[in-house]
């Protein structure tokens, strides 16, 4: 009986050790939030067809981006969920608004790619972006090139801003 108890205890310790090692092999993830302003240029190849207004093909863009990401502690790629609200054309006394949401990936070096829906004065469509998150001390400086296809045509934007950690 003692032998059976000892064998069972040894098996239990071995199973507990194996479970602990398996749990240690799973990546530890950190959830973060970033937010910040954006400024840039919105390029509309054919503004008269897209927005049915007389505006320049290059418009000043102001926006605010919110971002949630899950990042492995060991610096693997981050999973992103982003949303951005923007206004463009105020320098021409026009108000063009937009909202986009996207999911994507960011490498440990800061390169990112995202894709998602966009709703704006151009209509509803799909937008994608590529960018680089630069570091300046503890501040992130995102530089992003985006493009989208709306109901009436295509648009391209380039923006830069800063991102501060809110959690």
pLDDT in tens, 121-165: 878 899 999 999 998 887 889 999 999 887 767 889 999 998 887
Entry pTM: 0.75
Spatial CA neighbour of 98 closest among 45, 139, 40: 40
- 130 in Cβ contact with 112 (< 8 Å): yes
Helices (H), the chain: 2-25, 47-50
Contacts 24+ apart (CB under 8 A), 109-118: 110/134, 110/135, 112/80, 112/144, 114/80, 114/82, 116/82, 118/148, 118/150
Asked if the model's pLDDT at residue 52 lies above 70, the reply is no
pLDDT at 66 (0 to 100): 94
- What residue segments make up the domains of the chain, in order of their start? 29-165
DSSP 122: T
Query: What fold does the segment set 29-165 form as a domain?
Result: Porin (2.40.160)
Asked if the model's pLDDT at residue 23 lies above 70, the reply is no
Phi (first) and psi of residue 22, to 5 degrees? -65, -40
How would you class 149 by CB atoms within 10 Å of its CB: exposed for 0-12, middle for 13-18, buried for 19 or more? middle
């Amino acid at each position: 009986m003692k032998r059976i108890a000892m064998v069972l205890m040894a098996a239990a310790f071995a199973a507990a050790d194996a479970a602990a090692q398996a749990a240690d092999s799973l990546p530890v993830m950190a959830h973060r939030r970033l937010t910040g302003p954006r400024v840039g240029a919105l390029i509309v190849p054919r503004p008269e067809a897209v927005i049915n207004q007389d505006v320049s093909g290059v418009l000043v863009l102001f926006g605010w981006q919110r971002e949630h990401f899950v990042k492995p502690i060991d610096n693997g790629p981050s999973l992103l969920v982003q949303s951005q609200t923007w206004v463009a054309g105020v320098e021409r006394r026009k108000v063009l608004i937009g909202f986009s949401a996207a999911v994507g990936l960011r490498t440990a070096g800061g390169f990112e790619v995202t894709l998602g829906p966009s709703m704006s004065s151009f209509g509803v469509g799909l937008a994608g972006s590529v960018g680089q998150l630069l570091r300046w001390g503890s501040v992130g400086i995102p530089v992003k090139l985006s493009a989208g296809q709306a109901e009436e045509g295509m648009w391209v934007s380039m923006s830069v801003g800063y991102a501060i950690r809110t959690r």
